[in-house]
Chains A and B, each alone.
Chain A
Amino acid sequence: MRISGKALLTAGAAAAGAVTATRIAAARRSSTQAAGRRHVITVNRAFDEAGTGRLPAPLAELGEAVEIRRQPAPGGRGTEISARARSGKVSDGDIRRALREARSELEVGYVLLPGGPTTEPTPLNKPLREATAHGREGGLL
């Protein structure tokens, strides 16, 4: 027997928002070497559409804590959005996640949520679980 998942859709979105909020409220102190670096992504949307007007929610939520720039990508290949922390209030991880989520919102209209989970914690997979709990915050972006 299957239960309909439609109700969960909205619940899922709300949960994602709550997580975002907690992250910002917690304002994890950034202590990485690259703190203050400018992080940048290219969004596959024309500058007219993605380069002006309201920022997508994940970036808007960071508010005054980040400085954001938008410019047309070379060759008309979309819009570059970059962000840099103005102070230690926002971590590089927060910025990476916000940029990736903003790109998804602009391109797709929503951010892909993970499926499952079907797994259980073990001492062996502890580091992996920690990494995937912050899957959009890490990396090199």
Chain B
Amino acid sequence: MKALQWQGVNKLAVGDVPDPQLRNPGDIIVKVRRTVTCGSDLHLLGGYIPFMEKGDVLGHEFLGEVVEVGPEVRRHRVGDRVVVSSFISCGKCWFCEQELYSLCDNGNTNPAITETLWGQAPGGCFGYSHAMGGNPGSHAEYIRVPFADVGAFPVPGEVSDERALFASDAAATGWMGADLGGVKPGDVVAVWGAGGVGQMAARAAMLLGAERVIVIDRLDNRLQQVEKYIGAETLNFERTDVALELRERSGGRGPDVCIEAVGMEAAGKGPQYAYDQLKQQLRLQSDRPVAVREAVHACRKGGSVFVLGVYAGFVDKFPLGALMNKGVTMRGAQMHGQRYIPMLLDRMARGELVTEHLATHVMPLAEAPEGYRIFKEKEDNCVRAVFVP
């Protein structure tokens, strides 16, 4: 079958790979109908997560049709239309039982890498390097989905492919940031990043009752989407002083909840940004934490910061003093999709959560390398490129 393969740093190509097979009794095979780029892939593409092999198939946000089911699968039948969580979770371990699905004990076939790096190993993810299990991704005609009764969800008839697709990763991730960040009715919430994840986090905060939600980015087209489709306020960090503006918009207190949806390749300005870039290039720090620093500093006393953006290793100049003295709670996680996807699909069916506008570019799988180029360069106002195999 055809699949989009990583060929080296910033090199992608569509090639032929073997069809996936059922390997465990809880597996299903899905014929991919739609699969989409995610900001996380850019970290792989750029070589910031050095656990890729030539030939790895990318993609973890997808929807498709079940074409084969393993003997222990109970919830799916051939022909079902399903959306699949980007993290692979067994549903039986202690972490899955606590609904911390991305921390699954049994979902990563290579726990050694991340356990060595971070002390404990999170679960596995589709198409997200050998540190996350080396599972072939969804930018392909077919994909094997392990633990399908736990991670694949039937899409209600009234929800289109175009909308349901984003329940797989962006919407579930954004919802988790608002939920575990502790958003409560009446809160002021600030979200860094107006990509798919940031937009979904902002919408989640609104649906959880936040009174004011402010999204920060520098790309006007994305901020316009936030105003038009999400209904939140915006702030362009290239034109305004984020810290001052957030203070003013939160009655001088600072936002109650700050959600960071930018990640390790954050853009910034001034000498601190130049410092971060240089250190990252010299491999003296693995990540550029511009937005996290800003969030901790802006957050109100006793507030919370949730890190959705992906980081791989170590950062410099972390404002630990602000965190400690202001009594700020900081949390982060890879997405616990299984916890939220059914609820998100219901909200999509009711029209509370719209996502289609994120798919600014839709193209055949054969054009995926060009799709990634446009997505990476944010060319032609690209927010997400969707591939149809």
A103 contacts partner chain B, Cβ-Cβ < 8 Å? yes
Of the 9-residue stretches B90-98, B155-163, B346-354, which lies at the interface with chain A? B90-98
A87 contacts partner chain B, Cβ-Cβ < 8 Å? no
Cross-interface CB contact of B18 among A118, A137, A140, cutoff 8 Å: A118
Q: Taking A110-B24, A114-B133 as contacts, is the C-beta distance between A78 and B94 under 8 angstroms?
A: yes
Distance in angstroms between the alpha carbons of A115 and B3 in the assembled complex? 14
Q: Taking A103-B106, A140-B115 as contacts, is the C-beta distance between A120 and B130 under 8 angstroms?
A: no
Distance in angstroms between the alpha carbons of A9 and B25 in the assembled complex? 7
Asked if A100 and B111 make an inter-chain contact with CB atoms under 8 angstroms apart, the answer reads yes
A8 contacts partner chain B, Cβ-Cβ < 8 Å? yes
Q: Taking A104-B106, A114-B134 as contacts, is the C-beta distance between A141 and B18 under 8 angstroms?
A: no
Asked if B23 and A115 make an inter-chain contact with CB atoms under 8 angstroms apart, the answer reads yes
Distance in angstroms between the alpha carbons of A122 and B144 in the assembled complex? 25
B112 contacts partner chain A, Cβ-Cβ < 8 Å? yes
The B1-47 residues at the A interface (CB cut-off 8 A) are 3, 5, 17-27, 29
Q: B120-140 toward A: CB 8 Å interface, digit per residue (1/0)?
A: 010010000010011110000
Residue of B nearest to A4 (CB): B68
Of the 9-residue stretches B51-59, B262-270, B309-317, which lies at the interface with chain A? B51-59
Distance in angstroms between the alpha carbons of A140 and B114 in the assembled complex? 10
Asked if B136 and A9 make an inter-chain contact with CB atoms under 8 angstroms apart, the answer reads no
Which residues of A have CB within 8 Å of B113? 131-132, 135, 138-139
B105 contacts partner chain A, Cβ-Cβ < 8 Å? yes
A128 contacts partner chain B, Cβ-Cβ < 8 Å? yes
Asked if B68 and A5 make an inter-chain contact with CB atoms under 8 angstroms apart, the answer reads yes
Asked if A118 and B55 make an inter-chain contact with CB atoms under 8 angstroms apart, the answer reads yes
CB of B379 to closest CB in A, whole Å: 28
The A110-141 residues at the B interface (CB cut-off 8 A) are 110-120, 122, 124-125, 128-129, 131-132, 134-141
Q: Taking A44-B92, A136-B109 as contacts, is the C-beta distance between A9 and B23 under 8 angstroms?
A: yes
Distance in angstroms between the alpha carbons of A37 and B339 in the assembled complex? 37
Asked if B111 and A135 make an inter-chain contact with CB atoms under 8 angstroms apart, the answer reads yes
Asked if B53 and A128 make an inter-chain contact with CB atoms under 8 angstroms apart, the answer reads yes
A30 contacts partner chain B, Cβ-Cβ < 8 Å? no
- Categorize the interface residue count of chain B: 35 or more
Q: Taking A103-B105, A110-B24, A139-B112 as contacts, is the C-beta distance between A115 and B135 under 8 angstroms?
A: yes
Distance in angstroms between the alpha carbons of A119 and B142 in the assembled complex? 17
Main secondary structure of the interface of A (DSSP, over half): loop
CB of B181 to closest CB in A, whole Å: 26
The B241-261 residues at the A interface (CB cut-off 8 A) are none
Residue of B nearest to A134 (CB): B112
Which residues of A have CB within 8 Å of B142? 2
CB of B385 to closest CB in A, whole Å: 21
Which residues of B have CB within 8 Å of A3? 19, 21
A12 contacts partner chain B, Cβ-Cβ < 8 Å? yes
Distance in angstroms between the alpha carbons of A9 and B27 in the assembled complex? 10
Which residues of B have CB within 8 Å of A23? none
B321 contacts partner chain A, Cβ-Cβ < 8 Å? no
CB of B389 to closest CB in A, whole Å: 14
Which residues of A have CB within 8 Å of B135? 114-116
CB of A44 to closest CB in B, whole Å: 4
Q: B79-116 toward A: CB 8 Å interface, digit per residue (1/0)?
A: 00000000010101110010000000111111111011
CB of A130 to closest CB in B, whole Å: 11
Which residues of B have CB within 8 Å of A138? 112-113, 115-116
Distance in angstroms between the alpha carbons of A117 and B104 in the assembled complex? 22
Distance in angstroms between the alpha carbons of A118 and B143 in the assembled complex? 12
Cross-interface CB contact of B109 among A44, A103, A109, A114, cutoff 8 Å: A114
B337 contacts partner chain A, Cβ-Cβ < 8 Å? no
Residues of B within 8 A of A (CB): 3, 5, 17-27, 29, 51-57, 67-68, 70-72, 88, 90, 92-94, 97, 105-113, 115-116, 119, 121, 124, 130, 133-136, 142, 144, 146-147
What are 27 inter-chain pairs, A to B, with CB distance below 8 A?
A5-B68, A6-B70, A9-B71, A44-B105, A104-B105, A107-B105, A108-B26, A110-B24, A112-B109, A113-B109, A114-B110, A114-B133, A115-B23, A115-B135, A117-B55, A118-B18, A118-B55, A118-B56, A124-B54, A132-B109, A132-B130, A135-B110, A138-B112, A138-B116, A139-B112, A140-B116, A140-B119
Ranked 3 nearest A-B pairs via Cβ: A138-B112, A5-B21, A135-B110
Residues of A within 8 A of B (CB): 2-6, 8-9, 12, 42, 44, 77-78, 100, 103-104, 107-120, 122, 124-125, 128-129, 131-132, 134-141
